[in-house]
Amino acid sequence: MLRRSTLLNLGLVTSLCSGLASAASDVPSVHVYNWYDYIGPTTLKDFQRDSGILPVYDTFDSGEVLEAKMLTGHSGYDVVVASNFILPGLIKAGAIQKLDRSQLPNLPHLNPVLLEKLRANDPDNLYAVPYLWGTDGLGYNVDKIKAALGEDAPVNSWDLLFKEDNLAKLSQCGVALLDAPAEIMPIALHYLGLPPNSSNPEDYKKAQALLLKLRPYITYFDSSKIQSDLSNGDICLALTWSGTVHSAKQAAEEAGKGVRVEYSIPVEGAPLWIDNLVLVNDSPRPANGLAFINYLLRPEVVAPATDWIMTANANRDATALVTAAVRDNPGIYPPPEVMAKLFILQPQSHAIERVRTRAWSNIKSGH
C-alpha cells in the first residue's frame, strides 16, 4: 500500500538523516526503535520542532527481531515500542526500566480500561505506556465469502475459520493465517473452550489436532503479505491483525477494482494486543526518552497516527480528535460489550513454549 511504503521511506530517511545530523552536531537526540508503519506522518518533525530534540528513528518488521535486540542489550536506543506479551520477559531480564511518572504529566490521558488490561503483563503499570492497540480477528472478502457460503456465512464467528465444512469451501478462494504460534494457538484453545493461556501440554495437543484437521484448506502461513493479498482479492479469508485488514480495506477502495474487504471480531472473543512505549534500561538519554514518550501522550499528537495507520490509540482524550469514520468503526474501537470478551495473551514457560513451537511446526508441515 502506498501509505505504508511512503511511511517506511519516511522512517528510513528520517533515521539516516537524523543519524548524520546527530553525528555532526551537539544537538540533543533521542533514539527510537519502532514498527515500520507505526507513527504519524509528521510526528518526528513536529517533535523536533517543539522540543529541540532530534529523533533518530529506526524500524523493525518483526517482534522477534525487537526482542532479540533488547535481550542482547547495549542497543543504543532510548525508546522502543514493545507488544504487551513480551513485556514480562523484558521486565524479568532487566531490559527496560521503571518509568519516572513525574516526567510524564500526560499519563492521565490514557484509557483506564486498557491500563487495567495491560496489568496482565505489567502488573502495576510501572514499565509500559500503552500507545496503539487492536485485536486479532477475521479479515474477509465480502463477495467471495458470500459466493462460497451464502448470505448467512458466519462472518462474525470463529466458526467461519474453524469449522471444516466452511474452510473446505473457502480454500478455493484462499485462506491465510498469521505465522504466529503465540497468537494462533491461544485462539484455537479459546475456540475449543480451553484457557487461551493454558499451561497444560495436553491442551496444546487438542489445539494441534484441530489445526491439523484444517491444514489441507489453509493456503499459507505468513505475517507480511496478507494485507496485499486481501486488498487484491487473492485470498478471501485471513486470521490476522485488525490494522492489517483496515489497511487492506482502504487500499482496495483506493484501487477501485471492486474488492470489498471487511474485518470482524468474533463474538466468542479474541486476543487484544497493546503496543507500548518503554524506556530501555541502559538508555543513553533517558530524559529525552521520557520527553518523547510524554509527547506521544498528547491527544493532538497521537490522533493523527490513528487516522494514518487505521489502528486505535490508547489515549481516551484523543478519541474525539480521530476522524469519525475511524472512531465509529467497531472493528477499530470495539464497543464495551466486545471489549469485555477480549483477552490478553501471556508468555508461557520454556517447557510450554517448546510444546507450542513443536506443535506449530507440525501444523505448518501438515504432520
C-alpha cell at 159: 466458526
pLDDT (0 to 100) of residue 127: 98
Whether residue 35 contacts residue 60, with contact meaning beta carbons closer than 8 Å, is answered with yes
Amino acid found at 233: G
pLDDT (0 to 100) of residue 25: 58
The CATH number for 2-134+273-334, chosen from 3.40.1000.10, 3.20.20.140, 3.40.190.10, 3.50.30.50, is 3.40.190.10
Per-residue pLDDT of 56-103, as tens digits, reads: 999 998 788 898 899 998 999 999 999 999 999 999 999 999 999 999
How many alpha carbons fall within 13 Å on the CB side of residue 62?
Answer: 10
C-alpha cell at 52: 529541540
Angle in degrees, CA 156, 159, 162, rounded to 5: 135
Per-residue pLDDT of 24-55, as tens digits, reads: 457 999 999 999 889 999 999 999 999 999 99
Angle in degrees, CA 160, 146, 210, rounded to 5: 15
Domains of the chain, by residue range, sit at 2-134+273-334, 135-271+344-365
Architecture (CATH level 2) of domain 135-271+344-365: 3-Layer(aba) Sandwich (3.40)
Amino acid found at 121: N
Give the span between the Cα atoms of 10 and 213, in whole angstroms. Answer: 44
Low-confidence residues in the chain, pLDDT < 50: 1-24
pLDDT (0 to 100) of residue 225: 94
User: pTM higher than 0.85 for the full model?
Assistant: yes
C-alpha cell at 66: 525487537
Q: Within 10 Å of residue 2's Cβ, how many Cβ atoms?
A: 8
Whether residue 251 contacts residue 41, with contact meaning beta carbons closer than 8 Å, is answered with no
Give the span between the Cα atoms of 57 and 85, in whole angstroms. Answer: 23
Q: Output the 3-class SS for the chain.
A: CHHHHHHHHHHHHHHHHHHHHHHHCCCCEEEEEEECCCCCCCHHHHHHHHHCCEEEEEEECCHHHHHHHHHHCCCCCCEEEEEHHHHHHHHHCCCECCCCHHHCCCHHHECHHHHHHHCCCCCCCCCEEEEEEEEEEEEEEHHHHHHHHCCCCCCCCCHHHHCHHHHHHHCCCCEEECCCHHHHHHHHHHHCCCCCCCCCHHHHHHHHHHHHHHHHHCCEECCCCHHHHHHHCCCCEEEEEHHHHHHHHHHHHHHCCCCCEEEECCCCCCEEEEEEEEEECCCCCHHHHHHHHHHHCCHHHHHHHHHHHCCEECEHHHHHHCCHHHHCCCCCCCCHHHHCCCEECCCCCHHHHHHHHHHHHHHHHCC
Q: In the chain, how long is the greatest CA-to-CA distance? A: 65
